[in-house]
Amino acid sequence: FEQLNKLNLFGAFAYERQLFQTMYQSDAAIEWYTKGSALYESLNQALVQMDYVAKHRFRYFVSDLMRQIHQVHHQQRNNRSF
């Protein structure tokens, strides 16, 4: 969280920042990314603008996000029935 806080990620969204700081779990990365939060907007902006400093600070969240996407993919693939 400290790396994301350096980005002033949440700006005026103090309540959202507090929620993220106290409630974020690595297994909920998809939920945090998809709920239309400041996190979603900031990460996408960093990726589009090729902001390497911001992307570096997002690295732990992106790692959590990718790990969770990978897990969901495998669960769905294994549960597929033909």
Cβ proximity of 23 and 15 under 8 Å = no
Residue type, position 18, single letter: Q
* Distance of alpha carbon 20 from alpha carbon 49, whole angstroms: 24
**pLDDT of res. 63:** 94
Whether the full predicted model's pTM is greater than 0.75, yes or no, is no
Cβ proximity of 62 and 3 under 8 Å = no
User: Which element (helix H / strand E) includes 56?
Assistant: helix 52-57
Q: How confident is the model at residue 70 (pLDDT cuts 50, 70, 90)?
A: very high
